[in-house]
Chains A and B, each alone.
Chain A
Amino acid sequence: SQTIHQWPATLVQPVGSPLSLECTVEGTSNPNLYWYRQAAGRGLQLLFYSVGIGQISSEVPQNLSASRPQDRQFILSSKKLLLSDSGFYLCAWSIGGDYGYTFGSGTRLTVV
């Protein structure tokens, strides 16, 4: 069966520090991968998606970036965090079609 792993679960980082969140999927090949952010009390905002290794599409301009160095690995990064980067970051995968997404358990990031 397919599983998705996301870590860390919680993170407190100072303003201006770098960020690296990792997401890996097991049990499937060539999944579509997504990074979403959910600010407190808000809806989910799509940040990046990838349909293959090295293929990244950005949905919202910001100081974040994403990379997909391997088929089932998706990384969200920042060189310098802002206070506004605080939120609940969710990685998700899909096989396409009408099957929806499966989300990882998320990383709760607080920038202080």
Chain B
Amino acid sequence: RKEVEQDPGPFNVPEGATVAFNCTYSNSASQSFFWYRQDCRKEPKLLMSVYSSGNEDGRFTAQLNRASQYISLLIRDSKLSDSATYLCVDQAAGNKLTFGGGTRVLVKP
């Protein structure tokens, strides 16, 4: 079983709609989680950290469910510029990040 698993998508989203997707992790000892965004042929960039209480940054909301070992990302009022691959990341001991394979989101007019 992969340590961090994501639905590869693509999620085809009409502009202005809401999209949400999850990521499951296998390491119950993982302490920190992140969502990264990666545009085609570019490096990943940190989108947001994921806190136990959940956190919101503008149109983006991240949630952590430790009991079921998954994190989620919700994007409201999708913009064309939100089209990207979203990488789920967990951080276990030693500050090493483990990346999921990514979920591709395509926002269409």
Residues of B within 8 A of A98 (CB): 31-32, 49, 91
Q: Provide the bound-state CA to CA distance between A49 and B36, in Å.
A: 19
Q: B-side binding surface: helix, strand, loop or mixed?
A: strand
A94 lies within 8 A of chain B by Cβ: yes
Judged by DSSP, the binding face of A is strand
Residue pair B96, A49 in contact (C-beta under 8 Å) = yes
Kindly state whether residue B43 has any CB partner on chain A within 8 Å. Answer: yes
Given contacts A49-B96, A96-B95, contact A44 B49 (CB under 8 A): no
Interface size on A, residues (CB 8 A): 22
B41 touches A43 (CB 8 A): no
Q: How many residues of B contact A (CB 8 A)?
A: 22
In the complex, A98 Cα to B52 Cα: how many Å? 13
Interface membership of A105, Cβ < 8 A: yes
Q: A43-B99, A49-B96 are in contact. Are A100 and B46 (CB under 8 A)?
A: yes
Whether A104 sits at the interface, judged by CB under 8 Å, is: yes
Question: Chain B residue with minimal CB distance to A59?
Answer: B96
* B60-109 interface (Cβ within 8 A of A): 87, 89, 91, 95-102
Q: Which residues of A contact B (CB under 8 A)?
A: 32, 34, 36, 42-44, 46, 49, 88, 90, 94, 96-98, 100-106, 108
Interface of B toward A, CB cutoff 8 Å? 31-32, 34, 36, 41-46, 49, 87, 89, 91, 95-102
